[in-house]
C-alpha cells in the first residue's frame, strides 16, 4: 500500500528500538513494555489482529518522522495523545509544536543511576489469567511522570512538590470514581518485599484525590522504606540503604507506575552527583557485580527473553485481544503477517 511504512522485525524489536536507554525498559521486562505500548495503541484505534498493527504503532512513535519535543523532558519517548477520549490517570504534556502527547518512557544518559526495583505482579503465581485482565483493563495507560518547572523528578527528601504538571488532576479508579486508599509496593534489591498503605481522603487537605497528593504520599513512603531498613542487613551491598550508603537525600522520584488495581510502585533514581562506595575494599567477592553495574547498566535488569516466567500472563493478555499467544506475537507470528 502506498505510503505505508515497512515493518521490519517484531513488536519486541520495535519497542527495543524506540525505548533504547529508556528508564522503564531498564525497570520492566520487555514483554511488559510491549504490552503497555499495545494497550495505548489499542485505545487509539489500533487493531492487534491486523497485519498493519506494527505500522500503526511505529507511526505513533514517529509522528510524521519528527520526534516531538517536550520542553521540560526533552528525552521523552512519546505517543500523540488521543484527542477524542479521556482515560483516567493518563496525563498528557504539551510539545514544542503545541500538540498534546503521552510520555511512554524517558531516555536517560546514565541508566546506572536508576534504582532497579523489581516489579510487583498481581496474581502472577496463583491466577495468571486474572493478572492479564488486571494489566489490560485496570491500570492507567501510561506512567505518571513527575514533571515540574525544573524538569523531570522531585527530590524524595523534599517535603511537598511545587509547580507539578497535572498536579490538580484527580487520581481515580479506571472508571473515574474516587480512590480512598491504595498500597505502595517497593521491591528494592537486597531487601524483603515492602508494602505500605496510603490514604488519599484526608479531610484536612484541600488537594485530596489529586496527583499532587499522590506524589507527596509516595515520597513519604519511600522515606519510610529507607528508615525502616537502614539498620537491616542487605543481600545486595551495592544497593544498601541507610547512613553512609543510599540515603533519602540521594533519591529522586521520577514517576509513579500503577502495578495493580490497588497498588503503585515508585520509579526512582540517584542524584546526578551520587558516588557509589568502593565495595571492592570490603567486599572483594562483589567486584564482578560492581564492574557489571559500571560497565553495563542494563546488565542488572536485562529484558526477559520469550519463554520467561512472565509468558503465561502475557499469553493470556494477547489471546484475549487476538486469539494468538504473546510469545508468538513478539517473535512475529507468520499467521498474523507481522514480520
> What would the grid cell of residue 104 be?
511512554
Q: Contacts from 275-279 at CB under 8 Å and sequence distance 24+?
A: 276/238, 277/244, 277/245, 279/237, 279/238
pLDDT digit of tens for each residue in the chain (339 aa)? 334 344 334 899 999 999 999 999 999 999 889 988 998 898 888 898 888 999 999 999 877 567 788 999 989 999 988 765 566 678 999 888 888 899 999 999 999 999 999 998 774 554 444 444 445 555 677 899 999 999 999 999 999 899 999 999 999 887 778 888 999 999 999 999 999 999 887 665 555 789 999 999 999 999 999 999 999 999 999 999 998 899 999 999 999 999 988 899 999 999 999 988 765 544 433 333 332 233 222 222 333 333 333 344 344 333 333 333 434 434 443 333 332
> What would the grid cell of residue 299 be?
546488565
Can you tell me the distance from the alpha carbon of 58 to that of 29, in angstroms, rounded to the nearest whole number? 20
The three-class DSSP label of residue 282 is coil
DSSP H helices in the chain? 11-18, 23-27, 30-43, 53-62, 128-137, 211-229, 287-295, 311-322, 326-330
DSSP single-letter state for residue 179: P
DSSP H helices in 44-191? 53-62, 128-137
Q: pTM for this one?
A: 0.78
pLDDT score at 251: 97
CA distances from 317 to 137, 219, 230 (A): 10, 32, 39
Contact (Cβ atoms closer than 8 angstroms) between residue 318 and residue 325: yes
Amino acid at each position: 500500500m502506498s505510503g505505508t511504512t515497512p515493518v521490519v522485525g517484531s513488536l519486541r524489536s520495535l519497542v527495543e528500538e524506540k525505548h533504547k536507554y529508556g528508564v522503564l525498559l531498564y525497570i520492566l521486562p520487555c514483554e511488559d513494555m510491549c504490552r503497555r505500548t499495545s494497550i495505548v495503541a489499542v485505545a487509539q484505534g489500533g487493531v492487534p489482529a491486523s497485519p498493519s498493527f506494527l505500522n500503526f504503532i511505529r507511526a505513533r512513535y514517529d509522528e510524521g518522522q519528527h520526534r516531538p519535543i517536550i520542553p521540560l523532558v526533552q528525552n521523552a519517548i512519546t505517543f500523540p495523545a488521543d484527542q477524542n477520549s479521556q482515560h483516567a490517570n493518563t496525563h498528557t504534556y504539551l510539545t514544542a509544536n503545541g500538540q498534546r502527547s503521552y510520555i511512554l518512557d524517558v531516555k536517560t544518559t546514565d541508566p546506572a543511576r536508576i534504582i532497579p526495583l523489581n516489579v510487583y505482579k498481581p496474581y502472577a503465581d496463583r491466577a495468571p489469567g486474572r493478572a492479564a485482565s488486571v494489566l489490560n483493563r485496570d491500570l492507567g495507560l501510561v506512567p505518571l511522570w513527575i514533571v515540574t518547572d525544573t524538569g523531570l523528578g522531585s527530590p524524595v527528601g523534599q517535603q511537598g512538590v511545587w509547580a507539578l504538571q497535572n498536579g490538580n488532576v484527580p487520581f481515580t479508579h479506571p472508571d473515574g470514581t474516587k480512590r480512598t486508599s491504595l498500597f505502595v509496593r517497593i521491591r528494592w534489591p537486597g531487601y524483603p518485599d515492602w508494602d505500605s498503605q496510603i490514604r488519599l481522603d484526608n479531610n484536612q487537605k484541600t488537594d485530596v484525590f489529586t496527583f499532587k497528593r499522590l506524589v507527596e504520599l509516595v515520597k513519604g513512603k519511600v522515606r519510610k522504606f529507607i528508615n525502616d531498613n537502614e539498620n537491616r542487613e542487605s543481600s545486595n551491598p551495592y544497593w544498601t540503604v541507610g547512613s553512609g550508603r543510599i540515603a533519602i537525600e540521594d533519591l529522586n522520584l521520577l514517576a509513579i507506575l500503577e502495578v495493580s488495581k490497588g497498588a503503585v510502585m515508585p520509579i526512582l533514581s540517584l542524584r546526578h552527583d551520587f558516588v557509589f562506595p568502593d565495595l571492592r575494599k570490603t567486599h572483594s567477592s562483589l567486584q564482578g557485580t560492581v564492574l557489571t553495574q559500571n560497565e553495563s547498566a542494563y546488565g542488572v535488569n536485562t529484558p526477559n527473553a520469550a519463554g520467561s516466567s512472565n509468558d503465561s500472563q502475557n499469553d493470556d493478555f494477547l489471546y484475549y485481544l487476538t486469539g494468538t499467544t504473546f510469545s508468538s506475537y513478539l517473535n512475529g507470528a507468520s499467521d498474523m503477517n507481522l514480520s
